[in-house]
Structure 1
């Protein structure tokens, strides 16, 4: 007889109550503190219903994952429940049940910054280029013992981007922010203000005294006076940072504690000797002084003449351009009386209360805004004159063209005007911004206004009656075509409103690459002249300039000048129009990129130094604009993105994440600056967001590294730093 016992309702695992996921927010909890016995009920072990016909065994296996934001780390605990009455090695799915429990530990407390440098001031070096700044390093402690804390700073002048922001800092006020970050992404910050300034006072040597003479000034109060400017007593001054021309001078009497002033007015009571302090101050406010003496004399016995009388005579006139535009803000001096007048908005000046029988000399002068009305088109006109292609037809144009004040118009004037346009000169070294000619002067030879020299003053001998029309013609030096604005603060309405667009092909930039940018026109144009200022970010370095079609038709006439870091000025001209098509390269610029980015984000056209303007075949000005184009072969797929690794820099691990437009294979390669492959990860990735964790021990070397993501359709590369 055979008796068979069969379990008609075997244990099927449906009644197992698995432990729920657990979140631990208590700081500094270690994996050893998260064993099942340490967890609350419902989170500790699986609960298996009793079954007399089952032989149940329970086990688990832990996988530890660091930095699974927002937790510090997580444990993936895989539970196994086996019924040995059913389990078979030939079919492991029978009698075996598995479930994963996620245990996350989240530290929400930021680090504590224990040391932060204090605000301080540092002195510029002797060359006034920077100050060596040494700061106390920032230190921080984490919430847990032996916790790794990464400290960074945002100073572009620090030697390193860690907790020590010491470096070479230029003049100015610099606020440096420090960030301490723990392994969980919690952050703490502090900041310090570093002031770099010129703290050294200038040097001054006084003249060994001067003599001031009392003079009669009918429009002044008092009418008998001598005005002494502090700078008159300066023999020699210098400063380590401020140019001599930008030093300011003031004075006060020895023993006087009031602030010094630029000048002192003496009247009859001031006749005699006065000890004075002459102060020199640099642009940073540092000052020093020397002591000298002023002697005030009354050589004309003005102070003893109690019967001195003043008549009501007047000398006045208008100052205007060759085209009749009235010139405001022209200084007009009556040199024989130490009197001065500034022309009003109508270009008018008048000196009143002039005594009859005296001799007077009237002299106008104006030496500001030398670029007013000056463009490369003026160089075209001068070049045509020098080459006898089209001689200048006015004595005033010839005076304007004599930039170097040599008494003739030559190629040297072109050289001087070029330097002004490009910003090499800020003023005319051998000429003033404006020259003035007596309005009633008849040039003996219109083709040579320099011989005899034209009169720039009006002399009045034995003044007997009012002179209301002592007029002058003002000539703007360098402005041959007369485009200067009489009031430079106003907009020149004569400008053409048409535009000329120059074209550059936009591109992505890689750190460490050298590339060439051709410059073309968006539309064909007959060009006569071209000038501009090009500004670029400091992470671009201009390495060279290559000539194009313009230089081929006008050799050596395309001139550029790099005005220090991040600025380039340029201009080109020809005596007759040159056809430039959209296929022609006007010129090319060669750059070195220090970091990745977009060209259009780093280049711009401006008039900061050299006005951006061009002239066409009709000699009309065109507003010059810079337009960026996309390459015809550029394909942009915004769904493919390689993100910057986080954290970066890193010590123990980092995560590299990326987006893929579709699921498929991807290869992540890490290599050093020499191109040596350090690690390769081959993965089958999902569509959308993906992430790869990289541990420090997986990489044989540190420093600056590159990581490249490659798929069958896309490739991207980024840089990271392993400390």
Structure 2
């Protein structure tokens, strides 16, 4: 049993140290002294020993919890005092009055104390370590690219946490370190406190980084404190997470510039001297790239104002700063014109010149010495007095005026024109002496050809002369004199540079004169020889034949070129003085033909006049051997023939081929449709075929379409086989609406040829078809003329069928038969339309016409509309201001004249366009009545009551013969004046032609025109006149 003498007392005391608790036990020993004075103490065997459980470590696995409750085991103890035992277990978070038990711990490392006390007041103390370990690493979120602005020093130290985008940890406070992904190669960007580019609390950036698009860095996030400043890459190992971030470094600080001071000076002070001594003070955090200097002179003409120097400083990153230094200039009046050192007038002069040109007279000028404080302006005014005396042709008074506009006041009173007001004047006398005449050039001796009928005078165009006087071509007057035939007599004279005019053939002398301002006259003599340049009108007999005759050298025939002449003529040379040849060699006048020349031979006849002009014409010569003079016995048969339509219209330019055993010949039919093969062996089996393409529209009209429509509908069947063949336009072996489409598109000009490229069919007119209503199967057999074992000369015929020409309106001149009776159409215009009407009630089957809207606005027509049955754009072609129409109906249309046949739609702005419709030559104007065709004449509505004396219906030209045929319509007999001009408005021919009532035909032959080219044909009667262009082939 414990007594007070043996009691040892322990008072525990506690304090906090760095979040851990330490327990200090202070022991007080009670010393008991008995009465004898002996001391007694507690023996050591009474102490309590305590052994805490071993240290433990707990791993937290739940990411949502950062703490836990741990069941602590009991401590082992040993004591010697009987009685009750007291237990106490505690940590910084809790105290248990038991030996161990459940206790709360957050994440971290903590000390747990065990204390055991017995009844004798003896106690023992021991501790253990409890570590609660957070197994979850931080949840790292990197910030997006961060823009870093450099400071004035050129550096930026950016804390690591700036690059954090909201990282979190479930249990701990977070710590941040950062370093570059790659160490900077720029020395300025290397941190002297972190030379090895380890993780640090901040990252350093410099001006070199501003040149890159982005700097890559590694942000490291710890959930334990890694230490201050630079740490190694292994610090806090296992307790951090890395992520990549980007820094965009920018230099946004513009350069700093301080200009030199401004100055105030007087006018005339040199700005360069003032600027030379001062330069701006410039600085920038990252360095200067360029310094540009600009000068702006704002001084007025009198030297006052400002002169500015602006410095533009640009750093290496493009940031710009400006500053301006200004020089302020004050005015002074320093110019004095009365001082000869500042103003010296020119002296009086005598000038030797080749003309009076005031701008070229070098007589001196005022000499002025001025500074920047004056604005001196010099002007002059000349007064010229012309006379001729002693070689002097003029006297010039030159009034000089010098004004200093910096001092001059126009309102100065009483008189502003005084030196005190900055005004100075002087009169200079100049005498001009000129004795040299102008030099004339630009025209030289020449030979000019003219083309006039009757060998009379012709227009000769001479170039205008030029002249030069003292290097100038101005201020000269010109005249000329013409001496016809160079006989010393002036026949014509005039003023000006151009002596062009009518010259007769011969040698003529032309004098040109030029006079300068001092009355000096220069002259130039030019010899002009005018010769006849009009070629003869070559006319040949078309086709000459002759037979071989026996000569000592053999069978032959000789012909001269003159033999083929058929009244050729010339404007100057008499017909009996014309010469003839077979080529360009005028001496080539004889041809000799022998047995090797049997048959047709093409002849080129060249006609020459006395001036050496020539023209040519082609004909042919046929050589035959009726007396069998040539070797070969029965050889030498002649096969000739004609190509013509069913109504005997000749077809020229047809390729006719003859085939026989071992022989293949080809000729072309002439203008009369004739052809011939000569020297054909007797007894031969012969086949003759023909073909021709081109001239697809010749003979075709809308009347053919109407006829085909009526055949298809059974209203009017064909009666001849050739009609079926002509109606098969596409050569498909039958007749259909497809043939009508092709035919109409040819007439409208929408196509230029047929797909099969044939314009004619040629058949043997004696052939008998097996089925006349369907002759297509026999086409190959009927398309050739067969002669079996020819024994004599033969004459054959090829029947030409013009494809599409069902009514046989084709004529031998390539034209189409034109109806001689007319029907009037008239055009009436409103604001947005122009209607075309028939002038009378009529029953029609169709019509065709072509219209020209020349004189109206370009592209003013937008379309055509009509009340005609089945009207569509297939019935017309509209191109610009030209309209071509072909309309047909298989039935009969009874048309009311008050209803427009068709209407032309106009644009909105067409009301402002002047002009009217006219018939053109593209398509013959024809209207098809029930029983006949009529030629259409077109009038404007306001012209119905006052009809013109004639109407131009159509024009046809034949390139083969050069002939032009003009059809005119007149309501009554009258005369018209006919004139032909060239494009220079020179008259080629003029005549008066009578017209009969109705349709008239005027024929113009090739001989009535000059050389090939464009001509103007004007036909007039009274005040009515029509002009058209014609091409001479």
Instruction: Decide: shared fold, TM above 0.5.
Output: no
TM-score (norm 2): 0.28
TM-score (norm 1): 0.40
Q: Which has the higher contact order (CA 8 A, sep 6+)?
A: 1
Rg (Cα) greater in structure: 2
